[in-house]
Structure 1
Amino acid sequence: MSIQVFILSKLMIGKTYPYELKKQMAEPIPLDELGGITESKLYYHFDALAKKGLIEPVEIIKEEHRPDKQVFGITAKGREELPKKIYKLFESANDINDIVIGLANIKYVDPEKVVDLLNVRLADYKAHWDRIMNFENTSHRDKKSENLNELLVGYFTTKSDHTIYWLEEAIKQIEQGNL
């Protein structure tokens, strides 16, 4: 879904085509590589958005000795759906990676609603983590099993602390109007 939010948000600014977006994603930080976004994925999502009537082809650029480029624009329905898709990103977020595109496009939504959604996600995440940490396994384990357990508990505790910290930081930045 974040790819579709990315495409729609770019089309809010102006018309474009998949290859152009791929180039934009690679500069100055290779977001395409970090997010595993390939050109074929972009084409797939452009097609899916067009089938839903959220975007439409508006022009074909023909260049000699090159494939035609189909340029897209956002529709009225797409403008209406963009905020809903952004809110869904925040509603379903499990960590900061899931909300990066939403944070980058917060101008299209109500920041107070986003804070409310993130606070719910944060509370759910903390409650889930508390349940996991309070689980007592009373089965007998050998030394290797205990070592593995310690390793995994350490890893997941650090990951959880990291997620909580960055969700709280995102909420704070939104509340302060910095995003």
Structure 2
Amino acid sequence: MSLSLFILGSLAEENSHPYKLKKRLLDSLPIDKMSEGKFYYNFEALQKKGLIEPVETIQKENRPNKTMYAITRAGRQFLEQEVYNNFKKASKIEDLYISIYLLKYIDPVKAAFFLEDAIKQEKKRWAKYREAKNKEEFKRQLELLDEKQQKAVQFISEHAFSQSDENIRWMEKLLSFLQRIED
């Protein structure tokens, strides 16, 4: 998950302050918790890169100051490019949560094109693992292990392949979703 993308996407909608955006993130997506330091670090890093800028400081009596931020033109360009980059390099659906959330800032057809290629790469990668598992060398290495280790390797392999199949299924479901979205 990319906090930076979420921050940029949120600021593309409206100027805001970090606390409000952190609350929106935790309320919108299935995230258990997030450290204050990590969230504020991302604000600082985005500001240093010139992707966001402080636009106002709100002062209320007996309350800490709130700095309101806005996205810059460079930030809007970066946001769009990074969302596409996430679709290009996708290997797990969880890594795309923020990009899916920010679909309104990109062309879904272009994202679908990138995702389709990512799915092909992921299928190819797991096909190599399956092929390697069936080779004699792997079987010989497995025979060197004691019975408990062999069962452990089989359990781990079964889980990994099951997870990869499920992940690819969800990536294909996302591809279908992207292809159906109307502008």
Q: TM-score scaled to structure 2, two decimals?
A: 0.89
Q: Which residue of 2 aligns with 1:21?
A: 21
| Cα distance between partner residues in 1 of 2:146 and 2:165 | 28
Q: Which residue of 2 aligns with 1:169?
A: 173
| Cα distance between partner residues in 2 of 1:24 and 1:128 | 36
Q: Is the 8 A contact 1:22 1:32 kept in 2?
A: no
Distance 1:178 1:160, change over 3 A: farther
Q: Is 1:41 the equivalent of 2:38?
A: yes
Q: What is the correspondence of 1:111-126 to structure 2 with a 5 Å cutoff? A: 111-126=108-123
| Cα distance between partner residues in 2 of 1:84 and 1:76 | 13
| Cα distance between partner residues in 2 of 1:83 and 1:28 | 20
Distance 1:37 1:90, change over 3 A: farther
| Cα distance between partner residues in 2 of 1:47 and 1:99 | 23
Q: Is the 8 A contact 1:54 1:74 kept in 2?
A: yes
| Cα distance between partner residues in 2 of 1:28 and 1:108 | 17
Once the two structures are superposed, residues 113-156 of structure 1 have per-residue CA deviations (whole angstroms, 9 ceiling, x without a partner) of 11111111111111110111111212223321221121011101
Q: Is 1:93 the equivalent of 2:90?
A: yes
> Which residue of 129, 141, 148 corresponds with 1:144?
148
Q: Provide runs of 4+ in structure 1 moved above 3 Å.
A: none
* 98-107 or 133-142, larger mean C-alpha shift: 133-142
Identical aligned residues as a percent: 33
> Which residue of 136, 153, 158 corresponds with 1:154?
158
Q: Which residue of 2 aligns with 1:56?
A: 53
Q: Which runs of 5+ in 2 are unaligned?
A: none
Q: Which runs of 5+ in 1 are unaligned?
A: none
- SS in structure 2 opposite 1:134? helix
